[in-house]
Amino acid sequence: MLDKMKAAAEHILAMQAGLKEKSVQLRGSSHVFLDALEKQLVLPVSEAKIDGAVAAVDGGLLAQELHGIDLVISRAVAAVFEYKDSVLVSHEYLPNAFPESDYEIKIGLDEREVMAFRSLFRLRKEIECAIDVLEKKNPKYLMLDGSLLPLTADKPPDDSDVAYEYQNVVRLYRKLYEAARAKGCTLLGVIKDSRSKRFVDIARAAIDLHSSDTVFLNHLLKEGERTFAFRYTADVKRHPITRDFGNEAEAVNAMYLKPVEGDRPLRVEFIGGNYSEVASLVYTLSKINRTYAYPAVLIEADLRAALDPMELERAQKSLSMQSGMGALPLRRNSRPFR
């Protein structure tokens, strides 16, 4: 095993060295990228003076698979931070600091449907919460933990028993976009662990590159730098998610920025707002720790939305007691021997 781990470590080091070399090549390139919304490859980011309300929404999720039954628990929380001259002067939560969880039980779903439903259930709670905070608190900026669009894995087949849930989520996203436009609110999605390859796909016009965006950009970007802004996808009519949003998907743009030296770049998606303004806001709010770059208001929303695993255990026991043989555990979880 030690030999295999050593070989794997050597491979990783060689890969990182290769990506570092590619980043130097790309920085020295004068290539003009057609998919870029700005001329410069790398741009500096300055700290912003923040005034007004910045809201963030995150959701928690717990799930348990039983025999033929799937139990899902979720809740979403909005944290609203009010700033004056970049100083936090007040904070509040919606619906409150400790909201009740919502429970859902599904029967007869296959494995792909189960995974899609869990994600869609959480997304529905989060987007409903985001719309609510927009209407009640009128923030200047609203951040979501994650993308401004569902992920491809969130979309079930059209004939799936949970296809209706996906359509409901799409309608909620579109309602959110409309509400943000009406309120003059800049809508952002901040992704802490992106696996996207969109930037790398764009960069291949200049260099031969095989990597995910954040792995490569950790070499390309220095602290206080960002990439050019770019569209979410090259073709909104062919992408499996954006084609469900019509022209509204054309307004979703993205960029990457590196707030601190000791952490990887963040992917930031946004609708509305000036590119530099968006970058400066996220940069300023994410510089609270030298090794963990994430907006403070999103960290707070995440902490408030987190669910106690004991809640799932209590719900499962209650369901089993009341349904008897109707809610059996999976066989692999009830072996009398090892």
Mean pLDDT of the chain: 90
Cβ 162 vs Cβ 113: under 8 Å: yes
What are the sequence ranges of the domains in the chain?
Answer: 31-308
Other Cβ atoms less than 10 A from the Cβ of 194: the count is 23
Other Cβ atoms less than 10 A from the Cβ of 248: the count is 18
Helices (H), the chain: 2-27, 111-137, 163-183, 198-203, 213-220, 275-285, 296-305, 309-323
Q: Which residue has the higher pLDDT, 278 or 334?
A: 278
Give the mean pLDDT of 14-23: 91
Give the mean pLDDT of 158-182: 94
Give the pLDDT band of residue 108 (cuts 50, 70, 90): confident
Tell me the C-alpha distance between 107 and 97, whole Å. Answer: 32
Give the pLDDT band of residue 331 (cuts 50, 70, 90): very low
Q: What is the pLDDT of residue 320?
A: 66
Give 256's DSSP letter. Answer: E
Sequence letter at residue 184: G
Does 314 have pLDDT greater than 90?
no
**Residues 6 or more apart in contact with residue 333 via CB below 8 angstroms:** none
Q: What is the pLDDT of residue 301?
A: 97
**Residues 6 or more apart in contact with residue 123 via CB below 8 angstroms:** 59, 150, 154, 169, 172
Cβ 188 vs Cβ 141: under 8 Å: yes
Does 321 have pLDDT greater than 90?
no
Q: What is the pLDDT of residue 109?
A: 77
**Residues 6 or more apart in contact with residue 329 via CB below 8 angstroms:** 66, 67, 320
Architecture of domain 31-308: 2-Layer Sandwich (3.30)
Structure tokens at 244: 């469900």
Residues in the chain: 338
Percent of the chain with pLDDT over 70: 93
Of the candidate ranges 6-10, 45-49, 268-272, 291-295, the one whose mean pLDDT is the lowest: 6-10
Instruction: Quote the strand ranges of 46-170, DSSP E.
Output: 52-66, 69-84, 87-94, 102-107, 141-145
Q: What is the pLDDT of residue 324?
A: 59
Q: What is the pLDDT of residue 46?
A: 94
Give 221's DSSP letter. Answer: P
Give the mean pLDDT of 190-213: 92
Q: What is the pLDDT of residue 44?
A: 97
Of the candidate ranges 47-56, 70-79, 238-247, 327-336, the one whose mean pLDDT is the lowest: 327-336
**Residues 6 or more apart in contact with residue 71 via CB below 8 angstroms:** 63, 64, 65, 103, 104, 105, 312, 315, 316, 319
Can you tell me which residue has the tokens 């919460």? 129
Q: What is the pLDDT of residue 333?
A: 58
Q: Which of 322, 336, 317, 338 is nearest to 66 (CA)?
A: 317
Give the pLDDT band of residue 93 (cuts 50, 70, 90): very high
Can you tell me which residue has the tokens 């403070």? 296
Other Cβ atoms less than 10 A from the Cβ of 73: the count is 21
Does 162 have pLDDT greater than 60?
yes
Does 325 have pLDDT greater than 60?
no
Q: What is the pLDDT of residue 329?
A: 59
Of the candidate ranges 8-17, 140-149, 258-267, 326-335, the one whose mean pLDDT is the lowest: 326-335
Give the mean pLDDT of 237-264: 93
Give the pLDDT band of residue 199 (cuts 50, 70, 90): very high
Structure tokens at 74: 């979720």
Percent of the chain with pLDDT over 90: 69
* Residue 85: φ, ψ to 5°: 55, 40
Does 52 have pLDDT greater than 50?
yes
